[in-house]
């Protein structure tokens, strides 16, 4: 976050320099996007029929019943195989026909991943047996989401050792304890399940270490720099169990379980402390030791494309994370053009009002308290976003010991069959470093992830869609909402709103562009540093190195955010162009939300249909 804030000042200085020189290297290109170029024919019930399945001859009602059974079965198999995911996704799994599974973490190994790929191929064969022309419109949408997910997933065949379950910021070792701290206790069984899982964390981390060794044996070991960053995230958890945030949250969660006696609580606390000492601490100690032993085996200090199948894996990663139908060269071109438009508009704003360049450093929304901001945002969105009845939320703060290892903020999705409190975590360290809490909470709260999650859950649609949700859609929506929040009535001047939104978008665009340059084009730190210095005035070696390492650690992560945002903006711009004065922001946002996490490959044909049948009152 610190590097991104520094980027803002460098970018503004660059724009000011360009402005003073009387020229700009960023010329806004002619808008050439047409809705008809975005997709194939609109998808409606009865409009698609696979070439492999020219007609089953079955009754439509029978096929529809079979398809419901099929999707229900897949949902049960996916969610029911992972007790941790099951607990967070469903409060009452028995209502979905899911029995309590064996309490254990999922196995990770090359062999297990190869089995998953084979299972997906079988599932794809089953899916193709359905005649899509006989499905209802709602079922067809699920069909398309599943087909897209399986097609992209099967592209990972032969790439099973390229995954990165461990990484400094978003890896399992960094985020699993936070999930465990939020493991809700609805009754005593949940307490027992939680303790059983926690007692196996050392075994699970042993599997993760073994997977890292498999990768190293295949020439895919992480660099020593990345290992050091992962070791730091492990170190954050190696504190006395008595002082652990897990101990604190465990005690508070026990208090929420009805019927527990003081004696039972005391016994549970004793057992929990013992598990932390005998399993949790050894899990991080042994994982750290295993990572230390991998030092020196990583021969690649640069991006994925420097591995044997690294470019192929990155292509798969981009397709699955972003949901775009653009090739990587096409996507890079789109990013550069939008980046150029934002920089050119920033230059225009500064030319018209030079004081903005200095005012932005001290400009902020007057609201500062999280609850105050969230309540304000909830009111502001009513004009441009679909109405949503009130939902509860709770703001929590990242434990001090974990501030350096976790994101500036994050939202925990509640079970889809429950209206339990939505939880947003805030990292106070990021606030101290200058993070804009207002836009962050727009991303995580209203109209971002919290609002989005409640909207999805209240639709009560096919539960399988929750499993198939595309990261580019989800995080693209979050970033879109983050930047949209600058347009609200928040006390900033119109020019400052525009400048802050354009500047923030430019930072994300730069990181997305660097992601491609590093992992696809093969740029090393020297080339990245030269690029940043020459074109963006970012010459501080520490800033350049931090940017480089953060992208090495998390390939595709920043690209996922920006590409999703770019896809939504592209659809919005096309809608505004096609509909003119009939365009409604609320209607467009409803369309996007009703796509329920589908990839943009799936969304675009539906977008064409929406334009053709547009009714602002629908």
pLDDT for res 406: 65
Mean pLDDT of the 165-185 span: 91
Q: In terms of DSSP H, where are the helices of 554-584?
A: 557-579
Judge whether residue 150 has pLDDT over 80: yes
pLDDT for res 404: 67
In a domain, 44, yes or no: no
Whether 589 and 442 share a structural domain: yes
- Element of type H or E holding 454: helix 449-459
Closest CA to 273 of 238, 235, 240: 240
Upper half-sphere CA count for residue 300 (Cβ side, 13 Å): 21
Q: How far apart (Å, rounded) are the C-alpha atoms in residues 579 and 532?
A: 40
Question: What domain count does the chain have?
Answer: 3
In a domain, 116, yes or no: no
Whether 607 and 530 share a structural domain: no
Strand order in the sheet with 409-412: 393-397, 422-426, 409-412
Q: 334-350: per-residue pLDDT in tens?
A: 999 999 999 999 999 99
In a domain, 440, yes or no: yes
Whether 218 and 330 share a structural domain: no
Mean pLDDT of the 377-403 span: 86
pLDDT for res 48: 45
Six-digit token pair at 236? 């954050």
Burial degree of 567 (CB within 10 A; 0-12, 13-18, 19+): buried
In a domain, 68, yes or no: no
Q: 246-265: per-residue pLDDT in tens?
A: 998 899 899 989 999 999 99
For residues 392 and 221, the model is more confident at 221
Which range has the worst mean pLDDT, 3-12, 140-149, 467-476? 3-12
Mean pLDDT of the 49-59 span: 55
In a domain, 42, yes or no: no
pLDDT for res 3: 47
Q: 538-574: per-residue pLDDT in tens?
A: 999 999 999 999 999 999 999 999 999 999 999 999 9
Whether 212 and 265 share a structural domain: yes
pLDDT for res 402: 67
In a domain, 51, yes or no: no
Distances (CA, A) of 19 to 84, 436, 508: 54, 26, 22
The strand pair at 422-426 and 409-412 is best described as antiparallel
Contact 429, 404 (CB under 8 A): yes
Whether 434 and 547 share a structural domain: no
Whether 406 and 270 share a structural domain: no
**pTM for the full model?**
0.89
Whether 470 and 526 share a structural domain: no
In a domain, 370, yes or no: yes
Q: 108-144: per-residue pLDDT in tens?
A: 999 999 999 999 999 999 999 999 999 999 999 999 9
Q: How far apart (Å, rounded) are the C-alpha atoms in residues 574 and 585?
A: 13
Its domain, for residue 608, covers: 364-491+584-618
């Amino acid at each position: 976050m610190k590097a991104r804030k520094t980027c803002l000042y460098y970018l503004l200085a660059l724009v000011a320099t360009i402005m003073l020189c009387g020229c700009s290297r960023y010329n806004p290109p002619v808008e050439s996007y047409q809705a008809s170029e975005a997709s194939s024919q609109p998808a409606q019930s009865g409009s698609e029929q696979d070439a492999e399945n020219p007609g089953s001859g079955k009754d439509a009602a029978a096929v529809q019943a079979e398809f419901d059974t099929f999707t229900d079965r897949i949902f049960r198999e996916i969610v029911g195989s992972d007790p941790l995911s099951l607990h967070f996704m469903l409060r009452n799994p028995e209502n979905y026909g899911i029995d309590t599974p064996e309490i254990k973490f999922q196995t990770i190994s090359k062999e297990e991943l190869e089995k998953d790929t084979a299972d997906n191929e079988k599932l794809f064969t089953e899916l193709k047996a359905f005649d899509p022309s006989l499905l209802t419109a709602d079922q067809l949408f699920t069909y398309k989401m599943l087909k897209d997910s399986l097609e992209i997933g099967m592209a990972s065949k032969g790439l099973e050792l390229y995954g990165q379950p461990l990484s400094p910021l978003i890896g399992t070792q960094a985020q699993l304890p936070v999930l465990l701290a939020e493991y809700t206790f609805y009754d005593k069984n949940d307490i027992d399940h939680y303790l059983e899982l926690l007692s196996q964390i050392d075994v699970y981390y042993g599997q993760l270490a073994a997977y890292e060794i498999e990768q190293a044996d295949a020439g895919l070991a992480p660099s020593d720099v990345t290992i050091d960053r992962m070791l730091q995230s492990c170190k954050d958890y190696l504190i006395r169990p008595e002082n652990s945030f897990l101990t604190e949250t465990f005690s508070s969660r026990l208090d929420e379980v009805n019927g527990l006696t003081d004696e039972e609580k005391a016994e549970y606390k004793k057992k929990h402390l013992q598990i932390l000492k005998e399993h949790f601490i050894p899990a991080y100690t042994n994982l750290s030791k295993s990572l230390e032993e991998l030092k020196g085996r990583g021969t690649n200090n640069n991006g994925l494309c420097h591995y044997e199948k690294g470019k192929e894996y990155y292509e798969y990663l981009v397709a699955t994370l972003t949901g775009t139908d653009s090739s990587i060269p096409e996507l890079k071109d789109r990013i550069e053009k939008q980046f150029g438009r934002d920089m050119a508009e920033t230059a225009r704003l500064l030319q018209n009002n030079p004081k903005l360049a200095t005012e932005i450093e001290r400009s902020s929304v007057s609201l500062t308290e999280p609850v105050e901001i969230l309540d304000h945002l909830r009111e502001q969105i009513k004009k441009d976003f679909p109405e949503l009845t009130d939902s509860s939320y709770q703001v929590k703060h990242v434990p001090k010991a974990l501030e350096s290892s976790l994101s500036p903020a994050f939202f925990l999705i509640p079970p889809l069959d429950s209206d339990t409190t939505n939880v947003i975590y805030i990292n106070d360290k990021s606030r101290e470093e200058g993070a804009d809490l207002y836009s962050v909470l727009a991303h995580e709260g209203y109209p971002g992830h919290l609002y989005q999650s409640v909207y999805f859950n209240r639709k009560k649609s096919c539960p399988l869609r929750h499993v198939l949700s595309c990261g580019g859609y989800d995080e693209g929506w979050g970033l879109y909402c983050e930047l949209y929040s600058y347009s609200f009535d928040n006390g900033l001047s119109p020019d400052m709103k525009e400048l802050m939104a354009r500047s923030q978008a430019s930072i994300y665009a730069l990181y997305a562009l660097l992601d491609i340059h590093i992992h696809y084009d093969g740029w090393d730190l020297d080339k990245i540093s030269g690029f940043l210095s020459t074109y963006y005035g970012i010459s501080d070696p520490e800033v350049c190195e931090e940017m480089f390492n953060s992208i090495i650690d998390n390939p595709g992560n920043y690209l996922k955010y920006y590409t999703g945002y770019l896809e939504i903006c592209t659809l919005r711009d096309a809608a505004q162009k096609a509909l003119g004065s009939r365009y409604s922001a609320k209607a467009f946002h409803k369309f996007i939300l009703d796509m329920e996490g589908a990839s943009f490959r799936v969304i675009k044909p539906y977008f064409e249909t929406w334009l053709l049948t547009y009714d602002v009152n629908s």
